[in-house]
Amino acid sequence: MVSQLTDAFDRKFYYLRLSITDVCNFRCNYCLPDGYKPNSNKRFLTLDEIKRVGRGFAGLGTEKVRLTGGEPTLRRDFVDIVAAIRENSAIKTLAVTTNGYRMARDIQSWKDAGLTSVNVSVDSLDARQFHAITGQDKFRQVMEGIDAGFAAGFKKIKVNTVLMRDVNDRSLATFLDWIKHRPIQLRFIELMETGEGTDLFRKHHVSGEVIRQQLLERGWQQAIRSRSDGPAQVFSHPDYQGEIGLIMPYEKDFCLSCNRLRVSAVGHLHLCLFGEQGISLRDLLEEDSQLEALKDRIQEKLQTKKQTHFLHQGNSGITQNLSFIGG
Ligand code: SAM
Ligand code: SF4
């Protein structure tokens, strides 16, 4: 029997978000406004180390892994990473969060290697605004990537949209038209405050509640979560093929249903997106024979996971931006 990861507050952890690189080719204004700055001291996890992370978590009851970054698809061995994680039969869902820039070209090969689910970030359906937010004139390419995803056989594609006041908070009708006949789950993520993003946060943060109210007024209904689902509250409507998700980390009790852990691209275990330095696992990723020791460390450190984050007190811990831990 697989021992299930459980913390001191009896929360069970079925979901791992694994960052495989910090490198990114976009410059999203809420994440890496000045672009990625290479740091020659950083060595990202190798394929073998990633395999061992996958095995360790699979042996601890993880059912879902999300590959993230930086931009995970920039790794040349991305397809091999997908295949390596899927070697674990316990991992039923393997997802990627991507800026979509490589999707049109490569998504079929990702699917063939075993990827089961894709999240692509699209903050605006206006090509010029998309360019202004991401620093890349790639709107059309990303849209073609989504079409390629459906053509490759993905039944549903998730889209992440960071909700920002005076940017896209009045665009619900446009987004709803877009998903009317497309099986897209569009998830509004509340802008999160990071160490580098305080001014932007003050200017643009708006609660997802404004979207929730509009959805309820238009007859949308909230669905029930399953145990390895992410943090979104999902809404559906009989006239729409698509769904809307809301991710509201500032809402009271957000942390009660936490079911996910994170490993950064340099092999640190993070018990929360915000607030701690991370626990190095790297010394236990050198040999296959260290598997049991790796599992023991993860299980033991999980007992120190706090009940909640401290974002409400304006404390974003050490998280300078989300590109090094993957959002
Ligand atoms: N590069 C990939 C992408 O953009 O999809 C994966 C990494 S990115 C850090 C993961 C997710 O975090 C994206 O959907 C992005 O929009 C979101 N994100 C980044 N910074 C954020 C912030 N300050 N607040 C809310 N979401 C943020
Ligand atoms: Fe890159 Fe994703 Fe951050 Fe945008 S949100 S800069 S695409 S890591």
Q: What is the pLDDT of residue 171?
A: 96
Residue 244 scores a pLDDT above 60 = yes
Residue 318 scores a pLDDT above 50 = no
* Residue-by-residue DSSP string for 221-287: EEPPP-TT--S-EEEE-TT-SSEEEEE-TTSTTGGGG--EEEE-TTSEEESSSSS---EE-GGGSS-
Dihedral sign, Cα of residue 239, residue 245, residue 248, residue 251: positive
At residue 250 the predicted structure's pLDDT band, cuts being 50, 70 and 90, is confident
* 118-158 tens-digit pLDDT: 999 999 999 999 999 999 999 999 999 999 999 999 999 99
* 51-79 tens-digit pLDDT: 999 999 999 999 999 999 999 999 999 99
Structural contact between residues 77 and 89, judged by C-beta atoms closer than 8 angstroms? no
Q: What is the pTM of this model?
A: 0.94
- Running DSSP on this structure, what letter comes out for residue 72? G
Residue 212 assigned ligand-binding role: no
- 289-308: average pLDDT: 92
User: Which atom of ligand 2 is nearest the CA belonging to 326?
Assistant: 8
Distance CA 270, CA 195 (A): 17
Q: Where are the alpha helices (DSSP H) in the chain?
A: 47-58, 78-86, 103-113, 127-134, 139-151, 172-180, 198-204, 209-217, 291-302
Is the CB of 96 within 6 Å of ligand 2?
Answer: no
Structural contact between residues 261 and 17, judged by C-beta atoms closer than 8 angstroms? yes
User: Which atom of ligand 2 is nearest the CA belonging to 31?
Assistant: 3
* 258-268 tens-digit pLDDT: 888 999 999 99
- 188-198: average pLDDT: 89
318 CB-near residues (< 8 Å, 6+ apart): 195, 275, 276, 277
Is the CB of 192 within 6 Å of ligand 1?
Answer: yes
Q: From the DSSP assignment, how many helices (H) and strands (E) are in the chain?
A: 9, 12
- 210-217: average pLDDT: 96
* 147-168 tens-digit pLDDT: 999 999 999 999 999 999 999 9
